[in-house]
Structure formats: structure tokens, C-alpha cells
């Protein structure tokens, strides 16, 4: 009785010895593998989405999440029994939610339960301290799943409309006689359609994921991290507008029947959006670096702490 009571009030700053930490990591690995196996059907159903151009970044998300986990890692410390019970309760809750929503086939919620169970595993093994540094990396796995169809459709239409309006305005500013007709841009006899692939949704999802990853690892004040997150949407939109404007100009100058131009537009223009977006993100980071100073946090001295 007294030992259990004492375990609830242990000093959580005490690091585990090598043997205890090794056992904890083994338990974590086994539980992680079991959860992944339990959700094997969900993961198998997700993989086909990664062959869609909108979600082709899905292959990279687990790798990036693993990198975030490694960069932020800290030595494991002693965990109170109450924290382990909380972790077990979280796992139990989300597993039951998974069972319930499987009956009514609500895939978006089922995907979220996968993340919830993994967070429960983190809590069970390492308590609040491990959840603090490992939780963001686990939650980052959400980006490997497709958007709910209703949300995807709504965002897609909004991005198409915004990209068409802004691109038309830029072309008019450049002296081009451009007129917007729905999701089409009319330049004389030429019609340029802003189709789904040109909506910028792919760029948006990739850039939001990149911005979240950067905000997780960057040693900056919280307002700098928030600025990076907020900037993801306008940067993605701006990069896509640049793509559409350049495409319209190339078609106007060289014609839509030019094979080389078609190859550049369809095969390379999308890839060119990424360095453009990264350039804007680097510019933002440079501005923030001149406005504020880096901060030291618990994740920067892992090597010293481990030693």
C-alpha cells in the first residue's frame, strides 16, 4: 500500500538507469508495433491515397515524424503509477471509439483514434514528460491521412476560386487582357482552366505539414512558431498564383500547342512551386530571426542530459 502511494509521488526528474530505460524502450516498441498491427486495415486503406497527386507526400510523413521523434528525444525518467493508468485509460478510450465508429464507418474519426491510441502508449511508457516531447511527433502522423471528403471538396473549391481571382488580377496588372469566367481565365481566344490539380491543395497540405514540422523543431519564441504556421496558407496560395500566372504567360507567348511548353507546365511547374514556397518561408524566417532571439529549451541538450 505504502509503496504504491510513494510511487505516485516519485521524483520525475530522476532518469532511469540504462537497464530500466532499455526495458522501457522495448515495451514502447512492442506496444507501438501492436497498435500499428491492430490498425493495419486502416493503414492499408490509406496507402492508395498516397498515389494521388494531392496526397503524394503521405509516404514522407512517417519518415518526418520519426525524425521529429529522434530530434526531440530526451532520456526517459521515472513515471508515477497514476500517469501509467491515465495512458492505459486513453488507449482503452480510443480503441473503443475506433470500434464504435467502425460500425458506422466514419473513417476520418477512426484515423484520429489511431493517433489517440499512440499518444496513450507514449503516456503509458513515459508519462507526461515523454508526452511533452514525443506527443508532437506522434500527432504529426495525422498528415499522412487524406482530408475528409467534405472538407477536401470545400477547401478545393475555395482554393480554385481564390487562385483564379488573384491570378486574373495579377495578369491584368501586367497589362494582359485577362477575364475570369468561373474557374477559367480567358485571354483572347485562349482559355486556361484552373482545374483541381492547379488549385493549390497539394501545395497547401505539403506546406502546412512542413510548417508544423518546422514549428516543432525550431528554437524560437511561441509567437515565431505561430507566425510560421499562419504563413503556410498564404505562402502556398502565393506560390500557386505565381505558377498559374507564369503558365498563362508561357501559353500566351508560345501557344498552347507547343509540346515543350506543355511539358514544362504539366511536369515541372508543380515541382517549381516547392522551391518558390521554401524561398518565401526562408525569407519569413530571416525576418523573424532579426526581430527575436533564439530560446533554449529542454530539447537542445539531450546529449548533455544523457551524459
Q: Per residue in 85-96, pLDDT tens?
A: 999 999 999 999
Give domain status of residue 307, yes or no.
no
Are the C-beta atoms of 162 and 238 separated by less than 8 Å?
no
Residue 141 and residue 169 in one domain: no
Mean pLDDT, range 126-130, rounded to an integer: 95
Q: What are phi and psi of 168, to 5 degrees?
A: -60, -40
pLDDT at 295: 57
- The total domain count for the chain is 2
E strands in the chain: 178-181, 184-187, 190-193
pLDDT at 302: 41
**Which residues fall within 8 angstroms of residue 115, CB to CB, at 6 or more apart?**
138, 139, 141, 142
Residue 161 and residue 271 in one domain: yes
146, 166, 200 - which closes a domain? 146
Distance CA 209, CA 221 (A): 19
Of the candidates 207, 224, 226, 52, the residue with the CA atom closest to the CA atom of residue 143 = 207
- Domain span at residue 258 reads 150-291
Give domain status of residue 246, yes or no.
yes
Give domain status of residue 277, yes or no.
yes
Residue 6 and residue 141 in one domain: yes
Of the candidates 139, 69, 124, the residue with the CA atom closest to the CA atom of residue 93 = 124
Residue 192 and residue 253 in one domain: yes
Residue 75 and residue 93 in one domain: yes
Residue 178 and residue 108 in one domain: no
94-108, 151-165, 178-192, 196-210: which has the highest mean pLDDT?
94-108
Q: How far apart are the first and last CA of the chain?
A: 35
pLDDT at 10: 54
Which residues is 184 bridged to in the sheet?
A: 181, 193
- C-alpha grid cell for residue 153? 471538396
pTM (2 decimals)? 0.80
Residue 17 and residue 142 in one domain: yes
Burial label, 255 (beta-carbon count in 10 A; 0-12, 13-18, 19+): exposed
Residue 218 and residue 168 in one domain: yes
115, 146, 177 - which closes a domain? 146
Residue 235 and residue 262 in one domain: yes
146, 178, 210 - which closes a domain? 146
Residue 43 and residue 88 in one domain: yes
Residue 190 and residue 132 in one domain: no
Give domain status of residue 297, yes or no.
no
Give domain status of residue 299, yes or no.
no
pLDDT at 199: 61
Amino acid at each position: 500500500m505504502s509503496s504504491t502511494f510513494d510511487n505516485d509521488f516519485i521524483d520525475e526528474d530522476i532518469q532511469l538507469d540504462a537497464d530500466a530505460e532499455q526495458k522501457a524502450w522495448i515495451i514502447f516498441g512492442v506496444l507501438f508495433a501492436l497498435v500499428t498491427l491492430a490498425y493495419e486495415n486502416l493503414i492499408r486503406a490509406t496507402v492508395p491515397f498516397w498515389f494521388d497527386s494531392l496526397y503524394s507526400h503521405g509516404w514522407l510523413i512517417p519518415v518526418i515524424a520519426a525524425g521529429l521523434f529522434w530530434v526531440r528525444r530526451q532520456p526517459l525518467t521515472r513515471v508515477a503509477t497514476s500517469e501509467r493508468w491515465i495512458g492505459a485509460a486513453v488507449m482503452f478510450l480510443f480503441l473503443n471509439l475506433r470500434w464504435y465508429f467502425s460500425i458506422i464507418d466514419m473513417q476520418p474519426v477512426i484515423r484520429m483514434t489511431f493517433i489517440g491510441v499512440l499518444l496513450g502508449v507514449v503516456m503509458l511508457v513515459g508519462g507526461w514528460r515523454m508526452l511533452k516531447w514525443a506527443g508532437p511527433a506522434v500527432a504529426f502522423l495525422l498528415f499522412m491521412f487524406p482530408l475528409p471528403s467534405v472538407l477536401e471538396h470545400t477547401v478545393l473549391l475555395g482554393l480554385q476560386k481564390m487562385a483564379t481571382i488573384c491570378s486574373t488580377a495579377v495578369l491584368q496588372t501586367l497589362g494582359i487582357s485577362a477575364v475570369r469566367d468561373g474557374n477559367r481565365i480567358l485571354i483572347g481566344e485562349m482559355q486556361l482552366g484552373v482545374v483541381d490539380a492547379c488549385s493549390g491543395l497539394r501545395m497547401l497540405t505539403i506546406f502546412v505539414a512542413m510548417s508544423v514540422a518546422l514549428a516543432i523543431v525550431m528554437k524560437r519564441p511561441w509567437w515565431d512558431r505561430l507566425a510560421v504556421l499562419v504563413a503556410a496558407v498564404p505562402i502556398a496560395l502565393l506560390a500557386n498564383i505565381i505558377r498559374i500566372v507564369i503558365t498563362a504567360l508561357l501559353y500566351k507567348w508560345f501557344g498552347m500547342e507547343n509540346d515543350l511548353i506543355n511539358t514544362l507546365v504539366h511536369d515541372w511547374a508543380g515541382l517549381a512551386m516547392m522551391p518558390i514556397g521554401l524561398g518565401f518561408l526562408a525569407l519569413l524566417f530571416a525576418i523573424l530571426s532579426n526581430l527575436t532571439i533564439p530560446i533554449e529549451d529542454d530539447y537542445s541538450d539531450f546529449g548533455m542530459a544523457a551524459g
